[in-house]
């Protein structure tokens, strides 16, 4: 993550914590006008001090948040429809992996090695419910 204009970046970008990020996300995705958002931020209802006081400051923080890899596009022609070119949208898979591995937000959710799960303590029945719990991942991991 990069530093925003208003201080070092934390797990929540330039926002103080998850609560403040959630409020900014709600305000930005709601149908409130910018004027109404500014009025809301000045009300007594907002008791805790926020790191932004108006829509412009909030927008600056939101724009400073790092994004994922950029979308790319290319025109392709399918064999069954040669006269109808299509636009293929994609992201570079290496850039996607680099982004996921470098982003602490995903640290607890990334599974990078196969594992076994069982339905009981006696390990009498194996549970296969995710890609890394299956035989393929174990086979690929063991062969490299």
**Residue 68 · residue 91 · CB < 8 Å:** yes
Question: Distance between alpha carbon 140 and the CA centroid of its chain, in Å?
Answer: 28
Token pair in block for residue 25: 């996300």
User: What is the reported pLDDT for 91?
Assistant: 97
- DSSP E strand stretches across 42-123: 72-78, 81-90, 117-118
Q: Give the whole-angstrom CA distance, residue 61 versus residue 13.
A: 8
H or E element at residue 52 = none
Per-residue pLDDT of the chain (144 residues; tens, 9 = 90+): 333 344 444 577 888 888 888 999 999 999 999 999 998 888 877 777 888 889 999 999 888 887 889 999 999 999 998 899 999 999 999 999 999 888 888 888 888 889 999 999 999 999 999 889 989 988 888 776
Report the C-alpha gap between 14 and 107 in whole angstroms. 19
- Predicted TM-score (pTM) above 0.75: no
């Amino acid at each position: 993550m990069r530093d925003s204009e208003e201080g070092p970046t934390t797990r929540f970008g330039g926002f103080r914590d998850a609560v403040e990020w959630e409020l900014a996300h709600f305000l930005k995705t709601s149908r409130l006008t910018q004027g109404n958002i500014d009025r809301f931020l000045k009300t007594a209802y907002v008791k805790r001090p926020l790191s932004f006081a108006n829509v412009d400051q909030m927008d600056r923080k939101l724009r400073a948040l790092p994004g994922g890899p950029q979308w790319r596009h290319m025109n392709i022609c399918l064999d069954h429809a040669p006269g109808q070119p299509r636009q293929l949208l994609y992201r570079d898979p290496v850039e996607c992996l680099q982004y996921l591995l470098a982003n602490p937000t995903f640290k607890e959710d990334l599974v990078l090695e196969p594992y076994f799960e069982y339905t009981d303590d006696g390990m009498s029945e194996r549970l296969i419910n995710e890609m890394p719990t299956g035989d393929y991942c174990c086979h690929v991991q063991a062969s490299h």
